[in-house]
Structure 1
Amino acid sequence: MTIHDTFTGAQFATEIARIAQDMGITLQLGSDFQIYSDIIKEHRPEQPLGEPFDPEIQDVNHKNAFWITGWDRQGRLVHTQAMRQFHLATTLADFLDQGFRDFPPTGLPLDLEKSRYLPGPGARLIRGLSCYHGEAWLKGGENGFRGTGIAGALARFALANTVLRWSPDYIFGFMPERHAFRGLVEREGYMHSDPGALYWHMLDSAEVLRGYMVWMGSEDLAHMMSIPPETLVH
């Protein structure tokens, strides 16, 4: 990453933090996942901590992961995100062929034996220093912030901070199909997606939760950070 890219990324992230502050959200970054786990248990019990960031089962620390929380003016948790890096000697498709069950949607009774991963062209391309983007949550309802446009800005805040910390080759994440159909891929700033990547089967049910894999490369990320973030919010 060039000095110009670093400066642009820092300006981009700072501007989003200012926009969030103006809307009543104070952003906090950290890398102690025991602290993050405690925050989730106390303030977001309806959506448990995702397995990829659970310090009880994963080695997540300041070298390979960080989290973001957002708090409103009343001190309520209104937003979360997290990033974790992987050094892939092979393709992401090969990595997920055996490891996709380590990235389940939280709080659902899943039949992991029946669940399937089908790699798309993006997963066959991705390798090297790759970061997983998860834990995305924004409070809705009467005191929430959904529908304001801030969700897209906050996603870009996480992406920009990942570039500034690690300058990854790729960033990837997973998204329920129903959210992708509503345009969330584009709203979060992702420029590529692999439809039909995940099929999560429910226990004792015929229901299947279908998922997209979303991703971007380093050139995509640089382009994203060149677009003024103030155009994202209403």
Structure 2
Amino acid sequence: MYLDQIGDDTLRITQAVALLQEKIRSAGLRLKESTDFSLFEDTIRATEDRYLMEDFSGKFFDLHGTSAFWIGAWDKSGEPVSVQAAKIEDLRDRSLGQYWQQQQRRIFVDPSQDAELGDEHAHDAFFIRGRIVYHGNLWLRRQERGKGLAEALTQLGFLISLLKWSPDYLYGLMAARNAMKGFGIRVGYRRFAPRGTHWVKSPEHVRPDDWLVYSTRNDLITLARTIAAEGPE
């Protein structure tokens, strides 16, 4: 059913995925896609940052193959070079902003009285509804940055999400500095809203300056068409 929503672009999307995989593998990296989030947590613990987002932790969510996946990249020595994850929510009965009011409070505020969630989230979030993918926990080893791998890896995650779920929207939360420097547009986001979730007092490990960055299904299809026609950047 979801492939029908992509229409005649399935071959171009798969072509774009193949080109991205070729670029990543030409850098000497081995790729793996998985729905095993216990393995994801083990892989995170082997990285230099060891940062696992609550959104992809089994402590807070039941993550399984129908609604979540992750992609890892390893070097020839078997050391992790990159991780990223994505999951889909069916929000046809409420907006993304309303969902944040429930989810962020449950994850961050209820366990700790040191955080306070506001209600002035990104304006766009209150108009985003439907089948919505959250893409996050993106990490790339420090010495591999600035080589175009972040773009290729992120775009791969976007297009795998598109093939799996054909979502209405795919979104992330990005530090304001990175968004204003153009990182969001380079990796494939096409729409930007200053302020993501609104924090009166943010949790200690959560940036209070995140932007909501997102793409529609058609934006993602256009990204795939561009990669298929011109190759990865």
Query: TM-score under structure 1 normalisation?
Result: 0.86
CA contact (8 A) 2:121 2:198 kept: no
Tell me what 2:171 maps to.
Answer: 172
Tell me what 1:225 maps to.
Answer: 224
C-alpha deviation, 1:94, in angstroms: 1.4
Tell me what 1:23 maps to.
Answer: 27
Query: CA 1:203 to 1:195, structure 2 compared with 1: closer, same or farther past 3 Å?
Result: closer
Give the match's secondary structure for 1:227: helix
User: Is the aligned partner of 1:124 residue 2:126?
Assistant: yes
Distance 2:226 2:171 in 1: 20
Q: Which moved more, 1:178-187 or 1:163-172?
A: 178-187
AA aligned opposite 2:131: L
Query: CA 1:175 to 1:224, structure 2 compared with 1: closer, same or farther past 3 Å?
Result: same
> Aligned Cα RMSD in Å?
2.4
CA contact (8 A) 2:32 2:73 kept: yes
Q: Which moved more, 1:94-103 or 1:50-59?
A: 94-103
Tell me what 1:98 maps to.
Answer: 102
What is the correspondence of 1:27-38 to structure 2 with a 5 Å cutoff? Answer: 27-38=31-42
Partner residue of 2:78 out of 75, 78, 81: 75
Query: CA 1:139 to 1:116, structure 2 compared with 1: closer, same or farther past 3 Å?
Result: farther
RCO greater where, 1 or 2, for CA within 8 Å and sep 6 or more?
A: 2
AA aligned opposite 1:133: H
Query: CA 1:70 to 1:52, structure 2 compared with 1: closer, same or farther past 3 Å?
Result: same
Q: What are structure 2's unaligned runs of at least 5 residues?
A: none
AA aligned opposite 1:82: A
1:153-184, Cα deviation, whole Å (9 max, x unpaired)? 11110000001111111111101112212211
How many aligned residue pairs are there? 221
Distance 1:227 1:57 in 2: 37
Give the match's secondary structure for 2:211: strand
Distance 1:27 1:103 in 2: 31
Higher helix share: 2
Identity %: 29
AA aligned opposite 1:230: G
AA aligned opposite 2:189: Y
Query: CA 1:164 to 1:110, structure 2 compared with 1: closer, same or farther past 3 Å?
Result: farther
Distance 2:188 2:100 in 1: 23
Q: What are structure 1's unaligned runs of at least 5 residues?
A: none
Higher strand share: 1
Query: CA 1:147 to 1:134, structure 2 compared with 1: closer, same or farther past 3 Å?
Result: same
Query: CA 1:21 to 1:226, structure 2 compared with 1: closer, same or farther past 3 Å?
Result: same
C-alpha deviation, 1:137, in angstroms: 0.7
Give the match's secondary structure for 1:225: helix
Distance 2:170 2:207 in 1: 26
1:2-60, Cα deviation, whole Å (9 max, x unpaired)? 4522211111111101110001222110001111111112x125232111111132110
Tell me what 1:182 maps to.
Answer: 181
Tell me what 1:7 maps to.
Answer: 11
CA contact (8 A) 2:124 2:193 kept: yes
Distance 2:79 2:119 in 1: 36
Query: CA 1:208 to 1:85, structure 2 compared with 1: closer, same or farther past 3 Å?
Result: closer
Query: TM-score under structure 2 normalisation?
Result: 0.86
